[in-house]
Structures are given as structure tokens and as C-alpha cells.
Amino acid sequence: MACGSCGTSENGVPRGCKSNGNCGTGTCGSGSEKLAVFDWLSNMTLPSGQERFNIFEVRFKNGRKHFYKNIDNLPLTMGDIIAVEGSPGHDIGTISLAGELVKVQMKKRKITADHEDVKKIYRKASQKDIDIWQKARGREEETQRKGREILGKLGLQMKLSDVEFQGDGNKATFYYTADARVDFRQLIRDLASAFSIRVEMKQVGARQEAARLGGVGSCGRELCCSTWLTDFRKVTTSAARYQQLSLNPLKLAGQCGKLKCCLNFELDTYLDALKSFPKQDLVLRTEKGDAVFVKMDIFKKHLWYTYKEERFKWFRLTLDQVQEIIDLNKNNEKSISLEDYESDVEIPETVDFEDAVGQDSLTRFDTPKVSKRRRNNRNNRRKKPVAVAANQTKENTQKQPQKQQQKRRPKQNPNQKPKVANKPNQPKAEGAKPNKPRRNNRNRNKNRPKNGNNSQEK
């Protein structure tokens, strides 16, 4: 889709931003608007004598689209904000598609030009209409919050998912989901008296609710139902079985709580590939015994079988080998053992990306770093044999007394008399004071009395 400035001139030359509808500014095809459409027929002229199709596709909140007829032949282009017929009053929307592509969309939805749902376009929206519309849109969040409070007081088993105001602000549509039928007549009275508006209740499914709210899927991209998927087809668990997926509800379910719609995207490819595979309940008869099916790899065309009596070991076979065994069994002949077939299977070597630096590892900062000195010491201790270690210990014990003798002795003063060591049997002189052990300053401080006075002083 293209905005007004992205159209083309008479000669087909793009004007405006000169990107021909792909500038990404809001209303263009690659912009941020949800469910936008690119009009690839915008630069083509109609045949002579043919009038332009006067029905336009108009988009409202959360991708809701309807068709409206331009009775007054107003000069409208894609991206214009217009006022259309409501029930009652008028609504404000944006033209999402015009021209011949509208016929294709109407045919897809099975809507004819004289259908009762095709209402008329009043006018281009004035600034006053846009201001009222924006003011009404600003009330939606607060209305939804208060509506949930009223819903909780009534105790109804339903979930209020979204609120949409009409362009004139006189009517609001409340979208809800419920598992069973709900009597909400009292709820409508309470909502109408609380907000002084006309109230319309509309039930939607779980997938429609997810499409309106939007979000990000497990694949990391925006939800398909909120961006481009418009028709919700039935999804069953057989689609997962055909694709050899584990039936884990946590992985197969989307944000709506139902099975993911993308399970149907590649289902046809898997069904075409499975046509050449044998049935899974087929038993292969070999010389060693009967073999049953375990699993398969569809695109590599490999199948795993195991013996009924020895189920602890699986044997990988190719599709051609399995077909060969089936042909022999049809002629009432038994094939050779699965071990012989498995030895002939050639498994190609897969070359993965080698990360020599380790910079892509997510756990590279988890383990603490060990210093190189400690690591080298540990390695040296482990590498030494027992005999060498014993010799080294003897050498160390012999060197220790030598080192003690080689220690440097303190220099003596020539005027100082040499000290004579007291012999143990020699008697001490009278009046000699006994040697007292030396005390540290710390011990002196500890031995002082707390009151600071010496008890021996008189």
C-alpha cells in the first residue's frame, strides 16, 4: 500500500519520497501498520471507457477491515482518513486498499457489491472528527480497566480482552472470551450506566484474541496472526506426528493456548516426502529375527530398526535397504542380519563451524581463571616418577643442615668481650638475677591493670 505522497505521475515516475510505496512511513506497504497491503496495480492505467471501482477497503483498530462504497465519487486515495457509516452514528477509519485489488479481496471473503455489509462513505475526516476520534481512543484503556472491575464484582466466567470505541465516541465494543455461555445482561446495564455509552458485546476465540493483542512467538518474530495471517485453519496433533515432532504441549502450543498455526506451513512437504517410506507397523524378517520400526529421518532417508528380542540396540538403515528387505519378505525370503546392512551405511561427515578463540561460548565467563604458576606446579608434580621424587626428598634433607651452617653469622665488635655460655653443671653466682623471658609490647599492654594504677606503688 502507498500513501498519498508515494503515488506515481502520469508517466509512471514515482513522486513524493520516490520509493513507490515502500518508504516505511506508517501507511506504506513495508511500514509499521499491521496487515498493510501493497497495491501493485497503482501505477497501471485502466482500459479506455472503464470506470474505477468505487468500493474501498477501510481498516480500523487491530486490523479490523470492512468494505465501503464511495457513492458521492469523492477523490480518495490509499491512506486517507475518512468518516464512514456506523450503527448508529459514524466511524473513523483509514483506507487500506483501493482499485481492482478490492474485487479480489471481496471475492475471497464472498462478499458482493450489493451486500448489506457494504455501507457507504460519508466524507473525508475533518480535523474535528480526528480530534474526537483520538479522544475516544484515549479512553479505551481506562474503560477496559474499569470494565474488568465490574466484571469481577459480578463474578462472571469471562475474560475482557479489548475495548474499541467508535469514531464519534458514542458506542464501544467490548471483546471477550469465554469457555461457556454467559448471561451478561446485567453487565451491559452496568457498563452503559458507568460510561454513558452504547455497549456492544462481541465474543472472540482464543486465536482472534491473540491476533488482536499481538506479541512475539517462540521463534523470536512477531505473531503471524497479528501481522499477515488472516484465515485460521484447523490444526491437529496429526500434523506434529507427520513431522516427527514430540507431542509436548508446552512446545506445540502458541500464546493463544492452541496448537501453533505454523504446524500447517510445512505439512504438505512432509506428506510428499513420506509417500516413498514404508508403513511404520511393518515388521522386517531377517535371519537373526524380526525387526520393528523405531524412528526415521525423513530428509536424510534413514530409518532405525531394532530386534524384538534385543531392543537395547538400534540399527540405522537407508530407505533403499529397507525396500530391499521388504521385497525379499514378499517372496517369503529372509534377509541377512541388520548388522550387515548397517556396516554398509555411509554416514557423511558434517563440518561444523570451528570456534578456535572461544569467543562465542556462552559459559566462557563461568569458570574461574587459574594462574599459570599453580597449573605448571601441578603438572610438574604429576609428571615426576616415584623414584625421582624419593631421591629429591633425600637430597633436600641433606642440603638443609648445610644451608643452616652457611648462614651468615653476625659480626662481633673487637672491643666487646666474648660471651661465655653457662654450663648446665656450673653453679651460679650469689646474688645473680635469674634470666626472665622477654615480653612483647603487646603482652605488656595486656598485663597492665584496667584502672591504670600500679598496685605495687605505695
3-state secondary structure of 287: coil
Does residue 269 register a pLDDT over 80? yes
pLDDT, position 20: 41
Average pLDDT estimate for 358-372: 66
Does residue 56 register a pLDDT over 50? yes
Of the chain, the percentage scoring pLDDT greater than 70 comes to 69
pLDDT confidence bin for 265, thresholds 50/70/90 = very high
Contacts 24+ apart (CB under 8 A), 183-192: 184/156, 184/158, 186/154, 187/150, 187/151, 187/154, 187/156, 190/150, 190/154, 191/147, 191/150
How far apart (Å, rounded) are the C-alpha atoms in residues 68 and 113?
9
Strands 65-69 and 315-318, how do they pair?
Answer: unpaired
pLDDT, position 46: 78
User: Would you give the DSSP letter of residue 118?
Assistant: -
Does residue 316 register a pLDDT over 80? yes
pLDDT, position 259: 93
Average pLDDT estimate for 375-386: 62
Whether 65 and 35 have beta carbons less than 8 Å apart is answered as yes
Short-list 206, 204, 210, CA closest to 225 = 210
pLDDT, position 352: 65
pLDDT confidence bin for 228, thresholds 50/70/90 = confident
Q: Kindly state the helix (H) or strand (E) to which residue 93 belongs, with its residue range.
A: strand 90-97
Average pLDDT estimate for 325-348: 88
How far apart (Å, rounded) are the C-alpha atoms in residues 289 and 325?
13
Does residue 179 register a pLDDT over 50? yes
Average pLDDT estimate for 101-108: 89
Whether 326 and 341 have beta carbons less than 8 Å apart is answered as no
Does residue 132 register a pLDDT over 90? yes
pLDDT, position 83: 95
Within 8 A by CB and 6+ apart from 26, the residues are 3, 32, 33, 79
Short-list 320, 329, 325, 327, CA closest to 337 = 325
Average pLDDT estimate for 2-17: 48
pLDDT, position 396: 58
Mean of all residue pLDDT scores within the chain: 78
The 10s digit of each residue's pLDDT in 318-330 is 999 999 999 999 9
How far apart (Å, rounded) are the C-alpha atoms in residues 201 and 336?
70
Does residue 51 register a pLDDT over 90? no
434 or 78, higher pLDDT: 78
Which range is least confidently modeled, 98-102, 283-287, 332-336, 434-438? 434-438
The answer to whether the bond into 88 is cis (omega within 30° of 0) is: yes
Does residue 67 register a pLDDT over 70? yes
pLDDT, position 18: 44
How far apart (Å, rounded) are the C-alpha atoms in residues 155 and 157?
7
348 or 89, higher pLDDT: 89
Of the chain, the percentage scoring pLDDT greater than 90 comes to 36
Which range is least confidently modeled, 118-122, 160-164, 339-343? 339-343
Q: Kindly state the helix (H) or strand (E) to which residue 160 belongs, with its residue range.
A: strand 159-165
How far apart (Å, rounded) are the C-alpha atoms in residues 126 and 140?
22
Which range is least confidently modeled, 34-43, 176-185, 202-211? 34-43
The 10s digit of each residue's pLDDT in 139-156 is 999 999 999 999 999 999
DSSP sequence for 289-329: -EEEEEEEETTTTEEEEEESS-TT--EEEEHHHHHHHHHHH
pLDDT confidence bin for 47, thresholds 50/70/90 = confident
Does residue 455 register a pLDDT over 50? no
pLDDT, position 389: 52
Pinpoint the alpha helices (H) of 36-165: 101-109, 127-138, 140-154
pLDDT, position 262: 93
Does residue 315 register a pLDDT over 80? yes
Whether 76 and 88 have beta carbons less than 8 Å apart is answered as no
pLDDT, position 173: 93
